Structure 1
Amino acid sequence: MKREIGLIGGVALVSGTMIGSGIFMSPQFLLAYVGSPGASLVVWVLSGVVAMFAALSYTEIGTLISESGGDFIYILRIYGSCPAFFAAVTFILVVQPLSIAAMAISIAEYLLAPFYTECHPPELAVKCAAAVMILVVAIVNALNVRIAIRIQVAFLVAKVLTLTLIVIGGAVEVIQSNSVIVENLKVENAFKGTQYSLNTLGMAFYQGLWSYAGWYNLNCVTEELKRPEVNLPRAIVIAISLVTGLYLLVNVSYLTVMTPKELVSSSAVVVTWGNKVLGSWGWIMSVAAALSAFGSLNGTFFSGGRVCFVAAREGHMPDILAMAHVRRLTPSPALIFTTIISLVVLIPGDFQSIVNFFSFTAWFFYGITLSGLLYLKIKKPELPRPYKVPIVLPILALIAAIFLVLAPIIDSPQIEYLYVTLFILSGALIYVPVIHFKLCPGLLSKLTVFLQLILEVAPADKTL
């Protein structure tokens, strides 16, 4: 695996993954949870702050442990094999597939929205279109690393232009008539009806932080990043600052043309905005949102396949997943496996529930990684650190992670969270015999050789 990603590619991977389905799908859900436009804007800003604190903390640990794999490799190096296995299984079988499925659903809904102006698109049509999107992105990433990165850069430009158009459109609406935004954000209305329960705040932050999901993606491909000690922190700061500013302005633009009730009832908020501002050209926003989400899906696939690849390389997944194509030098078996799991997750899921379960599971392991960084800062201050953050940042990010995991359970427990927890713990049934005692049946070795021949792959160190 070659170092193909520079600073621009790093910024594109982080911001291009963050700017996706979230800003076009989450505003209505977030507003529904908190109940007022003023509180929703506060949550958007705080979500950006939490993402920045967590990303800067990950930057320190990413330059200290300069290996690909993200949370898995950090937990492995700090806490050992057993916790790392649980992290690998959860990210590979739950977190990444949920993220990919949610993005694919959002792409499908926006692509189909212009054809179903009077009602929601049929669920079967949405799922089929989403499956096609997953397969297209999988093929692109399996063919060539450079093509995947170039797509990421190109789509980032398109995303920024789309969000800029929304911001400019909102500004024009304010100049022409500011009655709606004044009504939405004037003092007596801005926070009227705000809901303060732990559950609603937790769910609102799930939606907000989903829109920033991707701040960690560069840590998953550190080995493919040029000069990670320099480019990793720079890319993080540039990308999250850019995205936070755009998100805030875009949400203000939404509130310039829609009342809170209209925004919450919208199935595709950017399409509703486009129809009100652009009239007959409103369908352009649907296409733009779909393209934006496609770029985010591409970035998630790029980094997600690497987590699977690294976990297998460390012996926590079947050997075939740690192999790369002998000519294209892409981790194609890991990408194929990620594709299959994502398609399975896609079948029963819907966008809102997928986002909630993704956020609950992901922030559980983010908290473990952040606690590992605090351990290293306190117990091993002598380790060389090319980049260092004040200890208060990982502490605040860890507090946020604990809140995001516990708040929905304490305030409004749901059986689904128990199922997710049991699934994570069920990894012990595999870890003890297969990883700890090395009880690997001969059939698996034969299957590995067969798949090597079919997929034309070899162990990564043999392909360089």
Structure 2
Amino acid sequence: MTEKHELKRSLGLIDATSIVAGSMIGSGIFVVTVFMARDLGSAAWILITWLITGLLTMSAALSYGELAGMMPTAGGQFVYIQRAYGKLASFLYGWTVFTVIQTGVIAAVAVTFANYTAVFFPILQEEIFRIGDSFVFKNSQVLAMLSVVLLTYINTKGVKNGKVIQLVFTSAKLIALFALIGFGLYIGFSTDTFSNNFNNTWEASKTVFDETTKTVTVTKLTGIALVGAIGATIINSLFSSDAWNNVTFIAGEIKDPKKNIPRSLFLGTLIVTVIYILANIAYLALLPLNGSPEGSVVENGIMFAAQDRVGAAAANMIMGNIGVFVMAALIMVSTFGCNSGLVLSGGRLFYAMAKDNLFFKKAGELNKHDVPEKALWFQCVWACILCISGKYGDLLTYATFASLLFYILTIYGIFILRKKEPDAERPYKAFGYPVIPALYIILTAAICVALLIYDTVNTGLGLVIVALGIPVYYLFMNKRE
């Protein structure tokens, strides 16, 4: 008699929360404030943008809690979209997640891990070969792929192995981040840097550095221009706060999911929101906001931090030159732990798609450790191809807009299901319904409009990636007939 394998509910609240927080914290918090500083030129508006990001993320997470309680099965957001809108919409979500969102983030985080490892082992930055100026293959990309393969292999050996790695690395980076913030605030507030950064608090400006002429152009922002600038630059902080929904993909392996998934979504997003705001306050306490492209760490300021690494610049202010190595080690831990959660979660979404005949059939099988091994390897192969291509960064930019659209679609699904299925069991109801979910939809839609206006090419390409899934969907449907 063949042994029947099924997903085992072995993850508790702490495990689920560590997946939420661990998947969110990658390398973004150590970099993106530089871009936001150039786009807004105001410490107050930067902090407000991070606060808006945190509130949007938490309100979305609290809204997802209702859907997670109704549908505590593997696949998460894919399942929610299907129940509210049907198979085509859910497939387009899964298609975008596989082609770009999940695998693209895994590739980007893996390459970031390898690039920071190169701080200790410079040989990793050496080229293996290149094709003209368009394609360069380095040792760092080999390490990036090896890290993805290693994490995939570990996760094929059972969900317990994955949860141990996730817990260890998430704990390590949270401790290190709190230490960085604590020392940063202690040292920073002994100077007048923070108060100086808040001179002319509400005066916003966009700063552009021309690499060719080596000139800096500053444009004042007021009214609609300021609103548009916030709408465009918030994509940086939103990207840094993304992947919180990954815990819904593994609902089939969480104990008491009707309670633990909503709780983990709230706790994880709250922890990360607090950390991100405190980290930015620490940056503003240690470094001047404005600066110049050339000079010392202080002269560069946040706006022109070397190689856009504001986290490394802050660590340098705390510990001197050794801070570069300490920050590199922290980002290595952060990115490796982030990818652990992404690899673990993503395979479950593709498993759910395969069970619904909307992905490769083999991805719907469980191995002897009760995990979707083949789904994990499909994900691994495509992520490695993106590592080789070097195009994951572009793909992520294209897909961020599409990702926001799917968040809007999912949360609007709460309104649809309340009407379609008023008597369905809802162990947890969306916090502040209908006001908070509606506010999220309105604000996120406004951000999408700003992106369409200020970044038309990338948002358009994001829609193209989604649309390419339509013929693929009908191909899968025809194969079923």
Q: Same fold (TM over 0.5)?
A: yes
Q: Which aligned pairs between 1:22-37 and structure 2 lie closer than 5 A?
A: 22-37=28-43
For residues 152 and 31 of structure 2, the distance between their equivalents in structure 1, rounded to whole angstroms, comes to 23
Distance 2:327 2:43 in 1: 22
What's the TM-score, normalizing by structure 2?
A: 0.84
SS in 2 for 1:66: coil
Tell me: CA distance 1:121–1:201, structure 2 relative to 1, closer, same or farther (3 Å): farther
Q: Please point out which of 303, 316, 320 is paired with 1:264.
A: 303
Q: Secondary structure at the match of 1:329?
A: coil
Q: Cα–Cα, structure 1 residues 29 and 127, in superposed 2: closer, same or farther, change >3 Å?
A: farther
Cα displacement (A) at 1:77: 1.6
Asked if the contact 1:20–1:103 (Cα under 8 Å) also holds between the matched residues in 2, the reply is yes
1:181 aligns with 2:194: yes
Residue 115 of structure 1: how far off its partner (Å): 5.7
CA distance in 2, matches of 1:197, 1:291: 36
1:224, distance to aligned residue in structure 2 (A): 0.8
The answer for the alignment partner of 2:446 in structure 1 is 403
Q: Which residue of 2 aligns with 1:445?
A: none
Report the AA paired with residue 9 of structure 1.
D
Q: Which runs of 5+ in 1 are unaligned?
A: 440-464
Partner residue of 2:328? 286
Structure 1 residue 148: Cα displacement:
0.8
Deviation for aligned residue 1:382: 2.2
SS in structure 2 at match of 1:193: strand
Counterpart for residue 106 of structure 2:
100
Alignment of 1:168-317 (within 5 A): 168-176=182-190, 178-186=191-199, 188-189=200-201, 191-193=203-205, 195=221, 196=225, 200-260=229-289, 261=291, 262-266=301-305, 267=307, 268-282=309-323, 283-317=325-359
**For residues 147 and 420 of structure 1, what CA distance do their matches in structure 2 show?**
35
Please show how residues 352-391 of structure 1 align to structure 2 within 5 Å.
Answer: 353-389=394-430, 390-391=433-434
| Cα separation, 2, equivalents of 1:337 and 1:404 | 33
Task: Tell me which residue corresponds to 1:61.
Answer: 67
2:93 aligned partner: 87
Q: Does 1:166 align with 2:180?
A: yes
- Do structure 1's residue 17 and structure 2's residue 58 form an aligned pair? no
Under a length normalisation based on structure 1, what TM-score does the superposition of the two structures give? 0.87
Partner of 2:373: 332
Q: Shift of the alpha carbon at 1:129?
A: 3.0
Q: Indicate the structure with greater helix content.
A: 1
* 1:247 maps to amino acid: Y
Distance in structure 2 (CA, Å) of the matches to 1:356 and 1:227: 36
**Secondary structure at the counterpart of residue 347 of structure 1:** helix
**Is 2:133 the partner of 1:133?**
no
Could you tell me how far 1:420 is from its partner in structure 2?
2.9
Comparing 251-260 and 105-114, the one that deviates more: 105-114
Q: Could you tell me how far apart the structure 2 residues matched to 1:254 and 1:223 are?
A: 40
Distance in structure 2 (CA, Å) of the matches to 1:38 and 1:126: 37
Q: Distance in 2 between matches of 1:285 and 1:153?
A: 20
2:69–2:258: 8 Å Cα contact kept in structure 1?
yes
* Amino acid in structure 1 at the alignment position of 2:380: T
Of 51, 55, 78, the residue aligned with 1:49 is 55
Cα-to-partner distance string for 1:81-126 (whole Å, 9 max, x where unaligned): 222221221111121112112211222222223566xxx9877344
CA distance 1:350–1:110, change in 2 (3 Å): farther
Tell me the CA shift for residue 34 of structure 1. Answer: 2.5
Mean Cα displacement is larger for which, 15-24 or 290-299? 15-24
Check the 8 A contact 2:114/2:141 in 1, yes or no.
Answer: yes
What SS is found at the alignment partner of 2:480? coil
RMSD: 2.2
What is the SS of the residue equivalent to 2:358?
A: coil
Identity %, equivalent residues: 27
C-alpha distance in 2, partners of 1:200/1:107? 30
Q: Which runs of 5+ in 2 are unaligned?
A: 1-6, 128-135, 207-220, 292-300
Secondary structure in structure 2 of the residue aligned to 1:263: coil
Q: Kindly provide the CA deviation profile for residues 315-338 of structure 1, in whole angstroms up to 9, marking residues without a partner as x.
A: 10121011121x222211111111
- The whole-number CA distance in structure 2 between the counterparts of 1:25 and 1:289 is 11
2:456 equivalent to 1:413: yes
Match of 2:364 in 1: 322
CA distance in 1, matches of 2:90, 2:201: 48
Quote the offset at 1:197 in angstroms: 5.1
SS at match of 2:366: strand
- Going from structure 1 to structure 2, the CA distance change for 1:131 and 1:199 (only over 3 Å counts) comes to farther
**What letter is aligned with 1:295?**
G
Task: Give SS of 2:119's match.
Answer: helix
Paired with 2:390 and 2:437, the residues of 1 have a C-alpha distance of 33
Letter in 2 for 1:91: V
- Are the counterparts in 2 of residues 113 and 121 from structure 1 also a CA contact under 8 Å? no
Q: CA deviation at 1:429?
A: 1.9
